[in-house]
A = this chain, B = another copy of it.
C-alpha cells in the first residue's frame, strides 16, 4: 500500500476540492496540478484513461470517504439525533468555511454525468452505498425495517438539496431548516405506531 502523500492521492484530494467548487467539466488538469503540487508528468502516468478516468476516481474516492463516516457513526453508540447533527455539522462546515463556494463532489458528478456514463455510474454507486449504510443505521436504531429505506432516502436527498439551496442563496438557512425537519421526521419514524409513509 503506497503512502498517502503519493502524487496520485494528492491529485484525487485536490480533484475533490475543485469539483466541489466549480464542478467537473470546469476543472482542468492544470488546476489539479497547481492545487496539488503534483508533477506534470504524473497525469497520464497515474491516469492513463485521462480526464474521464480521473473524474470517475475522484467521485468514487469522495464517495468512499463519506461511506466511512457512516460506518464509524454506525459503530458508535450515539443516538439518531446525535448522528444527524454530526452529519449536518459536517456539511454545514464545508459550505460555510468555503464561503458558500463548495458543495458535494458526488452531486457534481451526478449533475454533469448525464452524458458521460462512467461519471454518472460513479456518482450513482456512491449515492447507492450511502443510502444502504444509512438504511442499516436507521434500522438498527429503532426505525421500522419497512420504513428505514424511505427515511434514509429522505435524509440523504434533503441534505443534498439543502446544500444546493444554501450555496446558491449564500445562507445556511436551508441546512438549518432541513436539520429541524429531519429531527421531527426521525421522531415520527421511531414513534411506536406511526401511520406515516403511506
Contact = CB atoms under 8 A, between A and B. Distances in A.
Interface in A97-146: 101-103, 106-115, 120-121, 123-124, 127-128, 131
Contact of A123 (B26, B154, B161, B168): B168
Contact-size category for A: 35 or more
A68 interface: no
A124 B158 CA distance: 17
A197 interface: yes
A122 to B, nearest CB: 8
Given A22-B112, A26-B25, A157 B165 contact: yes
Q: Which secondary structure dominates chain A's binding surface?
A: helix
Nearest to A108: B111
A154 B178 contact: yes
A141 B111 CA distance: 33
Given A184-B196, A188-B196, 16 more contacts: A23-B23, A25-B25, A107-B111, A108-B111, A110-B164, A110-B168, A113-B168, A123-B164, A127-B168, A154-B177, A156-B161, A157-B161, A159-B161, A160-B160, A183-B198, A185-B196
Interface of A: 20-26, 101-103, 106-115, 120-121, 123-124, 127-128, 131, 149-151, 153-154, 156-162, 164-165, 167-170, 173-174, 177-178, 180-185, 187-188, 195-198
